[in-house]
Chains A and B, each alone.
Chain A
Amino acid sequence: MISLRDVSKAYPRSGDALSGVSFRLRKGEFAFLTGPSGAGKSTVLELIHFQTRPTEGEVQVSRYNSRRVRRRDIPALRRRVGFVFQDFKLLERLTAAENVAFALEVIGTPRREIAGRVQRLLSQVGLAARARSRPSELSGGERQRVAVARALATEPRILLADEPTGNLDPDAAGGVFELFRMLNRLGTAVLMATHDADFVCRHAEIRQLELEDGRLVRDSAA
């Protein structure tokens, strides 16, 4: 479903962010992407989301290939690949429900379907009761759940999460992680970047891809 083949990414000033990274992520799989800050985790996720292109090698996500993808196909690709950030990126002036509705609206969901789907998405992340709250009235964990509900609006087959628990206290972090596990059991592949080693250790059964200085130094499934 996702495959990176000998991917290198160089930035004009800061040099190589990634060098020769290869791995595959299967349908419905769950994996951690670990490594210290600056190791290249975000760069890997951005490459899979086609926010940037490799300098060398290629990235394949379902039928989209980084060498051949056309600019106008990128929106369709991104609808299959949900993205969650450390800082949530919610619109502060909108309620939880409106934040989710925004995503549905901009991908062209028929107006009459939006309200029902928003309610279902918020229920799925356990936030139906907070639909009318603004981000400023929600806890960190709740905000991240809204962000997940928004990422699910396009019914993605893959969920990319860039340090989604980085801003959360341990309880909230555990809750969000359980949410990812639940979504994964329902069939969504999840690739979650984190530099929280404890967290990863406690879930040794989950595949771990470890980056260091732009290189893939360990793949627990290999």
Chain B
Amino acid sequence: MRAVREALAGFRRTPLLCALSIGAVGLSLVILGLFGLVAHNVGGAIGDVERRVEVVGYLLDDAGPEQVRAARRELEALPAVESVRYVSKDEALERARRDLVEFSDVYGELRVNPLPASFHLRLREGFRTPETVSETAGTLAAYPFIEEARFGDEWVERLFALRSAAAAVALALGGGFALVAVLLIVTTVRMAVLARGEEIEIMQIVGAREGYIQRPFLLEGALTGLAGGLLALGVTRLAYVFFPARFAAVESLVWLPHPWTAAGVAAAAALGLLAAAFSVHREVGRAYGPS
């Protein structure tokens, strides 16, 4: 009770510094929150795309069935390969007729099938990296009866690069602001301690316990962090509500899972508490320490 009252008195004493601290905590978490929101929504899509990453090899028409069967067995045995699908010339034509309706007439009139047979390789999870993809394509292209091996090389790489770049930027920005937030909270708490220097000295002289003296300051730090965390949650939520309206292409955004938001707000409070503990130990702890 007393600790709460005094922590709140701390806010009243240095409102600007407190607001800055809350803002910094909030900003660092908004950045992470927005990234989280995007990542969570795009994550599903990326997963889908990754799963569909295929390496395709087109066979020469004179490839013998025995050669094809042997090659298939070898390909299936590769550690990176999840499945190998063989599409014969007939199947390819059949599919082309079905998928490309506007050309169905053209295909319908053909007397010779111009489409090649093909191998479609899917990679196992964990092997869907640009390196493995191009390596597997190389292996496939090395068979003499394979005319050409293809994969969505450029965009696969771009997809991966984009995601890691976005994560790096979000972490760097979020981390940077978190650091600023910590420094501001350390300063806020130091100001609060200095403002109460006389009282603290008397408490130490008459024998108040260390925890009793420190509690209001720790609480002030934790509340600052908590307020920043809630601020970030609010701003992220606003972004979530207004973003789809402006970008019609995204039909429905999914809100972050509750454990994520709860962890974010808790982390903010913990950050505030730690910053305050650091500061209060430096400022108040001396009187009890050995010297």
Taking Cβ atoms with an 8 Å cutoff, the residues of A that contact B are: 49, 51-53, 71-72, 74-79, 83, 89, 91, 102-103, 105-108, 150-151, 153-154
Which B residue sits closest to A50, measured CB to CB?
B288
Q: How many A-B residue pairs have CB under 8 A?
A: 55
Choose one: A52, A72, A91, A103; the contact of B291 (CB below 8 Å). A52
Chief secondary structure at chain B's binding surface: helix
Chief secondary structure at chain A's binding surface: helix
Residue pair B206, A89 in contact (C-beta under 8 Å): no
Choose one: A72, A89, A107; the contact of B198 (CB below 8 Å). A89
* Complex Cα gap A89–B213 (Å): 18
Residue pair B207, A154 in contact (C-beta under 8 Å): yes
Taking Cβ atoms with an 8 Å cutoff, the residues of B that contact A are: 2, 198-199, 201-210, 212-213, 287-291
Determine the chain B residues whose CB is within 8 A of the CB of A78 once the complex forms: 204-207
Most chain A CB within a 10 A radius of its CB, from B207, B210, B213 = B207
* Complex Cα gap A49–B291 (Å): 13
What are 17 A-B pairs with beta-carbon distances under 8 A? A52-B291, A71-B289, A71-B290, A72-B209, A74-B288, A75-B208, A78-B206, A83-B205, A89-B205, A91-B198, A91-B199, A103-B206, A106-B203, A107-B206, A107-B208, A108-B209, A151-B206
Determine the chain B residues whose CB is within 8 A of the CB of A105 once the complex forms: 2
Residue pair A76, B207 in contact (C-beta under 8 Å): yes
Contacts A52-B291, A77-B207, A78-B205 given; 18 further ones with Cβ under 8 A?
A49-B205, A51-B287, A71-B289, A72-B209, A76-B207, A78-B204, A79-B206, A83-B205, A89-B198, A102-B199, A102-B202, A106-B202, A106-B206, A107-B208, A108-B209, A150-B206, A151-B206, A154-B207
* Complex Cα gap A91–B206 (Å): 14
Determine the chain B residues whose CB is within 8 A of the CB of A89 once the complex forms: 198, 201-202, 205
* Complex Cα gap A51–B288 (Å): 7
Which A residue sits closest to B200, measured CB to CB?
A106
Choose one: A51, A71, A72, A153; the contact of B206 (CB below 8 Å). A153
Most chain B CB within a 10 A radius of its CB, from A51, A74, A75, A107 = A75
* Complex Cα gap A71–B290 (Å): 8
A53 and B290 in contact (CB under 8 A), knowing A75-B208, A77-B207, A106-B203? yes
Determine the chain B residues whose CB is within 8 A of the CB of A150 once the complex forms: 202, 206
Which A residue sits closest to B199, measured CB to CB?
A91
Would you give the shortest CB distance from B211 to chain A, in whole angstroms? Answer: 9
Residue pair A103, B202 in contact (C-beta under 8 Å): yes
Would you give the shortest CB distance from A78 to chain B, in whole angstroms? Answer: 4
Determine the chain A residues whose CB is within 8 A of the CB of B199 once the complex forms: 91, 102
Would you give the shortest CB distance from A77 to chain B, in whole angstroms? Answer: 7
Which B residue sits closest to A102, measured CB to CB?
B202
Would you give the shortest CB distance from A159 to chain B, in whole angstroms? Answer: 13
* Complex Cα gap A74–B289 (Å): 10
Residue pair B202, A75 in contact (C-beta under 8 Å): no
Determine the chain B residues whose CB is within 8 A of the CB of A53 once the complex forms: 290-291
Which B residue sits closest to A79, measured CB to CB?
B207
Residue pair B198, A154 in contact (C-beta under 8 Å): no
* Complex Cα gap A107–B291 (Å): 24
Residue pair B201, A75 in contact (C-beta under 8 Å): no
Residue pair B206, A154 in contact (C-beta under 8 Å): yes
Would you give the shortest CB distance from A121 to chain B, in whole angstroms? Answer: 12
Would you give the shortest CB distance from B190 to chain A, in whole angstroms? Answer: 21
Which B residue sits closest to A150, measured CB to CB?
B206
Determine the chain A residues whose CB is within 8 A of the CB of B289 once the complex forms: 71
Would you give the shortest CB distance from A166 to chain B, in whole angstroms? Answer: 18
* Complex Cα gap A49–B205 (Å): 8
Determine the chain A residues whose CB is within 8 A of the CB of B205 once the complex forms: 49, 78, 83, 89
Would you give the shortest CB distance from B199 to chain A, in whole angstroms? Answer: 7
Choose one: A52, A75, A91; the contact of B207 (CB below 8 Å). A75
